[in-house]
Chain A
Amino acid sequence: MNKMTRQFEGYSFIGLWIIGFMAFSLGPLLFSLIISFFKWSLLDKPVFIGLKNYIDMFKLDPLFWKSLKVTFTYAVVSVPLGLIVSLLLAILLNLKLKGMGIFRTLFYLPSVITGVAAAVLWMWVLQPDFGILNYFLSFLGIQGPDWLGDPNWALTSLIMMSVWGSGGGIVIFLAGLQNIPQLLYDVSSIDGATKFRQFRAITIPMITPSIFFNLIMGVIGAFRTFTQGYVMTNGGPLNSTYFYALYIYNKAFQDLQMGYAAALSWILFIIIAVLTLLVFKTSSSWVYYETERKG
């Protein structure tokens, strides 16, 4: 086959994605950068205002800082917590015991109903007077707080909810665990390694790629949190759950400040890019890779 045909063939297969990428990702991304230098309500003509959106954001806008703080807090707590819980559960679920299929489904169940259904369900669970969470706490003699209504507890409530929904991570971990060759365990058993030692020396290193994957996905997911804030608390009380994505949405579609919202979204993009790069950079020191398969 000659070179030209090869090129043509290759691009005719991946061309579909390249077109889509230009039309639905790269194009909008660049367009977003452009409109971030404008004042634009969608209803009238855009007016160029240079860096004003960015300057206002940093200098004049307390909600920008508040929503950043809320989102960072949420990410820093919920992502590691979700990782630990889902890894522990995945290890248990990977044991060759009867009925594991049922348990897997039970733990995965919450992550199946993400979004609005989960949000309304949790509003009801967290209801201070009639919700079941405070009902169970009352058995322990604890007067549960007004979860979503108390600015000191609302974000904690949403973090609890995110841990509850971390079943998606369990699936990735299970897949990773099943990829570990049984041989490694068999050999180390012969060498007299204890279960705990096997866990530290085999399971953890072999599962680091999955941890890495879940970490990146978790961080990105946390920074994009929207539905909980929109449906359950509308950012309140007292803006204590005012997620960054919710702020972008409100600025764009409630206040119709498209330029300002685009500027906000670019800051989000930069934050995510920097965090992802950081994770990637540090990954070589803790993520263990088998020799790459070569095609």
Chain B
Amino acid sequence: MNIFGKSVTYAFLIISSFVFIIPFIWMVSTSLKEPGAIFAFPPQWIPDPFLFQNYKSAWTIAPFQQFLENTVTIVVLTTIGTVISSSIVAFGFARLVFRGRNVWFAILLASMMIPYEVTIIPLYVEFKLLGWIDTLRCLIVPSFFGAAFNIFLLRQYFLTIPYDLDEAAIIDGCSTFQVYWRIMLPIVAPALVTVAIFQVMNAWTDFMGPLIFLNDQRNYTLTLGLNLFRNSYLTEWNNLMAIASLVTVVPLIIFFIGQKYLIGGIAASGIKG
């Protein structure tokens, strides 16, 4: 590309990324302002003074420490759950031959179309019968049974591995499970990371699930905690933005570290619908 083309491209990228990024700057800037400066017009971009204690005070207005612990519990357990279970199932679909496999796989694909909203009422009733309402179990346990999208993604990845590997391993005396665990898992590790990243982000930002299944504030997640501030009678924008910034930081870091895996993982799995 010539210099001209390059500079036009860069200019366009810079301007449009500015549009994408400016709300964040605004968020962080607001989070550091004193209450009086929030409603200044024209807006004050650089807070004066910088009130870093907003973060501390916002964090202690509600038991955010507890919300963080709950969120991390959910994120860690569901990620472990979905990585293990989805890879087991995906292995079955990709590497084993048995009757009914294709039918089940078609059902799996179709099940991705079932919206959460349709099942949430019966799920609520089901969890109520199990005595799980208002516990983190409602949000954690289902992840241990594989998620359709993740299974699909991992299956595509498993398919790319040459069959000779399995055969060689079986001749060496490996059981099928050992083939899955010893041979295949290390090879699909990048795809596992992709799945893990998706899961961390989903679990971290999930709102509807916690909103419906959790009541007691002790069990709140960060997103519900953030929602606590959003009360029509009391809108503390600096505190609200402080918490919003903190909530954003984690997925941001994960994306920054994992973007190579994200794009690579999807590309390798060859999403083609």
**Chains A and B are bound partners:** yes
- A contact residues vs B (CB 8 Å cutoff): 6-7, 9-14, 16-21, 23-29, 31-32, 35, 42, 89, 92-93, 95, 97, 101, 103-110, 112-117, 120-125, 129-130, 132, 135, 164, 167, 171-172, 174-176, 178-179, 209-210, 212-213, 216, 220, 223-224, 226-227, 230-231, 245, 248-249, 252-253, 258, 261-262, 265-266, 268-269, 272-273, 276, 283, 287, 289-290, 293, 295
- Contact partner of B142 (CB less than 8 A), chosen from A20, A216, A223, A224, is A20
A residues less than 8 Å from B163 (CB atoms):
295
- Min CB–CB distance A108 → chain B (angstroms): 6
- B contact residues vs A (CB 8 Å cutoff): 1, 6, 9-10, 12-13, 16-17, 19-24, 26-27, 30, 38-43, 85, 88-89, 91-101, 104, 107-108, 111, 113-126, 142, 144-146, 148, 151, 159-160, 163, 176, 180, 201, 205-208, 211-212, 223, 226-227, 229-230, 237, 240-241, 244, 247-248, 251-252, 255-256, 259, 262-264, 266-267, 270-273
- Contact partner of B85 (CB less than 8 A), chosen from A16, A115, A129, A258, is A16
- Do the beta carbons of A268 and B117 come within 8 Å of each other? yes
- Min CB–CB distance A288 → chain B (angstroms): 10
- Min CB–CB distance B221 → chain A (angstroms): 10
B residues less than 8 Å from A167 (CB atoms):
20
Q: What CA separation (Å) do A276 and B273 show in the bound complex?
A: 11
- Do the beta carbons of A14 and B21 come within 8 Å of each other? no
- Contact partner of B207 (CB less than 8 A), chosen from A115, A176, A248, A252, is A115
Known: A10-B97, A105-B259, A135-B43. A17 touches B108 (CB 8 A): yes
Known: A108-B255, A121-B241, A213-B273. A9 touches B145 (CB 8 A): no
- Do the beta carbons of B142 and A21 come within 8 Å of each other? no
Q: What CA separation (Å) do A19 and B141 show in the bound complex?
A: 12
- Do the beta carbons of B267 and A252 come within 8 Å of each other? no
Given A27-B122, A112-B251, 10 further pairs, Cβ under 8 A: A13-B93, A14-B89, A42-B125, A97-B1, A105-B259, A112-B248, A120-B229, A125-B26, A130-B40, A164-B19
Known: A89-B16, A178-B267. A116 touches B113 (CB 8 A): no
